[in-house]
A and B are shown apart, each in its own frame.
Chain A
Amino acid sequence: MNTEVNLHPSSELLNQFIQGELATGRSVVISAHVELCKTCSEKTKELQALAVSSWVDPDSSESSIRKTAGDYSAMIQNIVKEEQIKTEQLPELVTASLGLLDSSISLPRVLAKAAAKGLVWKKVAGGISEAQLPLDNETQCGFIYMAPGCQVPVHTHEGSETTLVLDGSFEDELGKYRAFDFIIRDQNHQHQPISKEGCLCFAVLDSPLTFTSGLARLMNPINRYRFRKAISKYA
């Protein structure tokens, strides 16, 4: 566990994560950060305890939602016919090898699991490669690798981009980002990331699905096409 992580998800975001309110892509990238970050791992436990204690008590007057009174005895009877599980399945240790790196790194569990079926790396632009990993139909997710000394062309985002640094570092106009940092950039940021030592990230790009013309003109049509392609597989 790294104790020198600088950038973390906000408490609000962690809370939404705990309550299961985020789409899979976002949930995965936060889960990966929480596994790597002691601060957020502790915060998450506190938020979980809060969520549990405020979980609606059916007998309290606060509870406005009630299931319709029904007869659940048939449901219960069917359930208790099922076998119980007596031995905990210890999580399989999945290791994903990332061929582009000189040194191999061990991925957070959730990312290793998601990547277990193999990654297909594609060169995107000078020194940058990506391996897409579709997780839901609202976001475009994947690993991004920047070779040492490479520079991403100036770009803006439609929606927001969430990035978790897994290894190495990169910098842009706003700062330098190291292993396990959690960065969110929205469409207001125009940035030009540079990586001197090389960098491996996991990124989640928000869907512009609710988006109509207007701002769309600002977008690079090729990127839009790639985004559509990524999400249409599961739409």
Chain B
Amino acid sequence: MYNLSAKQEGFSTTVGLTVRLTSVNSPTQDVHTEYNPAAISDEQLLIAVGNSQDINAFNQLFQRFSNNIFALGMKLTRNEQLSHDLIQEAMLNVWQKAPLYDLDRGTAKGWIYTLSRNRCFDMLRKQKRQPNCISADDIWPQEANTELMPFHEDSSGQEVEIALIERFFDQLSEPQRAVVEQIFMQDRTHEEAASILQIPLGTLKSRLRLAVAKLRKLIEVEQ
């Protein structure tokens, strides 16, 4: 929990910067980014890509990581063409999965590394025409919080009464409170809440699940 809130504080100091980068209602195609790219963290760029399809932010990530991805490809495939293909495969995956990134589970660099390694592994298996009964994502599963699995994405907490939430609100961590407030009190959609809080959709969902699980436990004890 300490790590979690420390990270959160680290983010809030830079929120001003990102707000300009991606604002909730602005049409994403027209976002003008007047910022010093080097001052923006990988995580902030990834959040901008996931929350508002920010093409400039994606460009930045591409600049930062395409060489790394190429180097990883060369190391594992020793083939220049395949390594170029890997840039395409891996960065496509970064774009597609950006909303799923969860900053509570690790750095953006670590997340991109995992995606790149997995795509490279699958590319090589395909090239060698190996059986397709499994893929890299089965071998290196996402750090799925298995205890959270039973919760369904959209039913999470709809049954929890607002009055009860308010009563136990103080017992949630700061990041959880922020999420609960947006979803249950302000009645925002997941996407809106993620954009307002400047966190990835994936992080919003996992914090919400954790918060609801905790609330349920507290309410159970009470009753």
Give chain A's interface residues, CB within 8 Å of chain B.
19-21, 24, 27-28, 31, 48-49, 51-52, 55-58, 63, 65-67, 72, 75-76, 79-80, 82-88, 90-91, 109-110, 113-114, 116-117, 133-137, 234
Contacts and interface: CB of A to CB of B under 8 A. Distances in A.
Leading 9 A-B pairs by shortest Cβ distance: A58-B67, A67-B70, A56-B71, A52-B110, A20-B117, A65-B71, A31-B139, A52-B113, A136-B130
B110 A84 contact: no
Q: Interface residues of B: mostly helix, strand, loop or mixed? A: helix
Contacts of A133: 133
Contacts of B178: none
A202 to B, nearest CB: 13
Residue with the highest number of chain B CB atoms closer than 10 Å, among A20, A24, A82, A136: A20
Nearest to A45: B143
Nearest to B205: A88
B133 A117 contact: yes
Interface string B110-123: 10011001101100
A96 to B, nearest CB: 12
Residue with the highest number of chain A CB atoms closer than 10 Å, among B87, B141, B144: B141
A80 B128 contact: no
A67 B84 contact: yes
A94 B197 CA distance: 36
Q: Interface residues of A: mostly helix, strand, loop or mixed? A: loop
B99 A21 contact: no
Interface of B: 50, 53, 55, 58-59, 62, 64, 66-68, 70-72, 74-76, 83-84, 87-88, 91-92, 95-100, 107, 109-110, 113-114, 117-118, 120-121, 125, 128-131, 133-134, 136, 138-142, 144, 149, 153, 191, 201-202, 205
A234 B62 CA distance: 36
A72 B62 contact: yes
